Every structure is written in structure tokens, then in C-alpha cells.
Structure 1
């Protein structure tokens, strides 16, 4: 009986540790893949595709910590820096269109190291 109880506790502990591994750090590959439809929209300025909003919501849902927000910002910074003024306006409108809260301003000069710092 004691051995079976120890086995159950051990298995529960293993499952809990595996569950915590499921949510890792945000990667640029993830951000760029999820936001590719948004980038296409910004560059072509046609009708926004619903997949842009799905991707934006996926990124927002996975980026829950200040470190995640800084990572997303750092991933987007090169793209934002390359945009014209008009394209930047289109990009800045995406959070509102998709009903997603952006944790940092969508601008060229955002300081990603200061995102979510008080």
C-alpha cells in the first residue's frame, strides 16, 4: 500500500513538472510565424485577413510575462524599423482591429528593454 501511494505521488509530480515545461519562452520563430499574415497586410495595405487576428491573439495569449513582452517587442523591432510612416500607421492599428491589447507602443523607436518595467 505504501509503495503504491509513493508511486502515485511520484507520477503526479512527474506530470506536474511536464505540464510546466509546455509553456516556454517566446521565440521569434513563433512570433514571426503567427504574425506573418499581419506583416503581409501591413506591406500590402489591403483587407486584413482573419488569420492576422488569430495570430495576434495567439501571440498575446502566449506572451504573459514582462520577459515575453520584451521578447515579442525585440522580434518585431527590425520589421517595425523598416516600415514607412504609412505602413507604421497600418501596423499600429492592428491591435485595435483585432481587439488585442498591445503591451508596448507599435513604433520604430520603442525601447524593448523597458517594456512592462515600472
Structure 2
């Protein structure tokens, strides 16, 4: 007997990812400590990524976002989840392979 999981579309969009992280722009450009609204957005985004499709989409959107912002400090981007007390199994970077983490993220989110 073979069990196949149904295909699901992501409920998260890149527009939502950008909106949630908009309060983080000062931190991503200048460093220091992320603001309360920034960490609130990070935590909301983390909680919203419930399915594998959501987590993959969020990863892809984060990757696109760091590529699009030319003056963004990649070290600050990579440190953002931990600074907001959120643990994700990849570094926010333009070189992240999101397909590699889609199934791994299930275990991190489901058993964290």
C-alpha cells in the first residue's frame, strides 16, 4: 500500500513575508537589536508557516528579499531569527537551497 500526501499550495505569499519583515529593515541595514515590531513579525511568520509548502515559500521569499535589498547586511539577516528567539534550520542568505530544507523544516516545526 502506498500513501501519497496531497499537493497543497502555500498559504504564505512573498508579499506577506515582506510585510512581516518590513519593521526589520533598520536592523537589516544597520544592525544593533531588532525592534519589538520586527521580532513580532518574525514570530508571526514563523507561526504561519504550518505546511511544507508554506515553509518552502517562506524560504524562497526570504532568499529573494535578501537578494533584492542591495545594502542589506547578510550577517544581520542570518542572525535575525536567533535574535528574535526563533530557530530555523538554514541561514537566511541568497545562496540558500530552499528545496533542500522543505522536508527538514517539517520536523523542526512539528517537534520544536
Common topology (TM > 0.5): yes
Which protein shows a greater Rg?
1
CA RMSD in angstroms, aligned pairs only: 2.4
Query: Unmatched 5+ residue regions in structure 2?
Result: 1-9, 105-112
Corresponding residue of 2:83: 97
Report the structure, 1 or 2, having the larger helix content. 1
Equivalent position to 1:114, from 96, 100, 104: 100
Matched residue pairs, number?
Answer: 95
Query: Unmatched 5+ residue regions in structure 1?
Result: 1-23
Corresponding residue of 1:17: none
Aligned residue runs from structure 1 range 1-118, under 5 A: 25-82=11-68, 87-117=73-103
C-alpha displacement at 1:72, in angstroms?
A: 0.6
CA 65–87 in structure 1, closer or farther in 2 if over 3 Å, else same: same
Q: Is the 8 A contact 1:66 1:115 kept in 2?
A: no
Q: Is the 8 A contact 1:69 1:103 kept in 2?
A: no
Return the TM-score normalized by structure 1. Answer: 0.68
Q: Is the 8 A contact 1:103 1:116 kept in 2?
A: no
Cα displacement string for residues 91-110 of structure 1 (whole angstroms, at most 9, x for unaligned residues): 11111111012243212211
C-alpha displacement at 1:114, in angstroms?
A: 2.1
